[in-house]
Chains A and B, each alone.
Chain A
Amino acid sequence: MAKVRAVWYCVKSLKMPAKTQASPEAIPEAEGAAVSVSLAGIRRVFPPDVVAIEAIDLHVPPGQFLAILGPSGSGKSTLLRLVAGLDRPTAGKVSLGRANPPTAYVFQDAHLLPWRTVLHNVALPLELRGVPGSHRLAAAREAVERVGLGDALHRYPAQLSGGMRMRASLARALVTEPHLLLLDEPFAALDEITRHRLDEQLRALWRERGMTVVFVTHSIPEATYLAQRTVVLSRRPARVVLDHAVELPVDRPAAIRGEPAFAAQMRVLYEALEVAER
């Protein structure tokens, strides 16, 4: 059985990190607020002989926002599960900057506990780590408000729209103040406008917190808008087709999606994806 990466939590980190205006570039301000991820010679074969990942070497420095782009079934999710420690590679090594960093994972669907209200869903990760009730509820309330769900604190998932559920899922990931945030096509099932809004919110949160983010998607505009760096994977067996630093300013207002520079970046990824599809 794969070793479970125990995730550490300190009550003192409940307080939101102070925002620093010093550097607009989201290099982590607080000591240890982000963690590096290194993949060396990763290969993953699913029995009997499905090679999901051929050979991937990748280094993600602390605080980087990395998008992984690839066609459906290209092993993107497999890669993310390996980083999370939810799966073991057949060969190669996943190493993180330090042992057991607080890690959060957001799935393609919200995957909330349907019998719990938004507040108690968001408090779950703290509850599992034994944080006392009043602390965890205060932290959960703050996280819920941070994603703009303050009105829905006491509602059940069945009473929420898809976008609201995804926000709750994001709040549940953020409540642990993760140093590593992994997202697996989190907004793929949402309508375009909701998706844009959540992308903008996610980027704002990343700039505020400075954690390392690995974001898996098959959307070129999404990868372009969000990431500092985009890695394009090939069809199975996955290998890196392109490793591209996104040449866009750090400040990315919603309107940037209409600019020529944005289109140029999308074009680079589009061409790589064309290659990847072959």
Chain B
Amino acid sequence: MSNRWRVILPPLVPFVVVTVGVEVLVRSGVIPSYVLPAPSAVFESVFRDFRELASATWSTTKASVAGFAASGAIGVLIAVALSSSRWVERAFYPYAVFFQTVPIIAIAPLLVIWFGFDLRTVIASAFIVSVFPVIANTLTGLLSTDPALRDLFRLYGASPAATLWKLRLPSALPSILTGLRIAAGLAVIGAIVGEFISGSGIGGVIDVARTQQRLDKVFAGLLLSSLLGLGLFALVNLASRLALRHWHASEQSR
């Protein structure tokens, strides 16, 4: 029990301090409420607009999770392909970097043209923003397999498929999980950007509330989207703990 509190309590302290601090500053008029809504107003909005926010959050959750899953699957596949030979890596890696450098806000309207005002646009946006960290980290992991173990697999006549499944992917797993951890947060950001254009989900709610000067609702949306990102991140952390607890230093002696 005391152990559990040691995990829960530390992040709670700054949350309470900041929330109470902002509340006091807004109520005392130091910060006008059209600049920053009082935290109590934000919580109120969450309850008042519950139905709208809940369905928006559900839509964003679906898109983020789908985009994140696509990033995980396709990112790892692309990295495996890139790691197959130096030549392939040199030929295609620059194009993978494209995902990292593309200004998503500029191509989101294009996505609407291609996919319509549809969940697919939002998923594509989440995917584009979150796939690169998966590719980059997985590739690093795949290329840093212990050379002695590679020799051992060769000596025992392992097929390329066996080497991939039994050696290269498992040794890349810690790096893959690092990529997924970064991708989890980015997928939510990508989804929200897509929703700004397509007008659905939390992004749509924030966009409309902003034009209506409903800052409390804007912040309620922000709160929900960061909770969503946090939730995805926590899921990846859990998966990482389960997968690595026996063997990787990052999940031991904690």
Contact = CB atoms under 8 A, between A and B. Distances in A.
Looking at chain B, what size class is its interface with the partner chain? Answer: 20 to 34
Contacts of B158: 128
A157 interface: yes
A115 B154 contact: no
Contact of B157 (A4, A86, A105): A4
A99 interface: no
Q: Is the interface of B mostly helix, strand, loop or mixed?
A: helix
Interface stretch (B21-29, B33-41, B224-232, B244-252): B244-252
Contact of A113 (B154, B162, B170): B170
A105 B155 contact: yes
Nearest to B157: A6
Interface stretch (B52-60, B145-153, B178-186): B145-153
A114 B249 CA distance: 10
Given A6-B157, A156-B247, A158-B247, A105 B151 contact: yes
A109 interface: yes
B104 interface: no
Contact of B149 (A84, A111, A156): A111
B246 A128 contact: no
A125 interface: yes
Interface centre among B148, B157, B248, by most A CB within 10 Å?
B157
Contact of B148 (A111, A115, A125, A129): A111
B150 to A, nearest CB: 10
Given A6-B157, A129-B157, A114 B247 contact: yes
B170 A128 contact: no
Interface of A: 4-7, 81, 84-86, 103-105, 107, 109, 111, 113-115, 124-125, 127-129, 156-158, 176
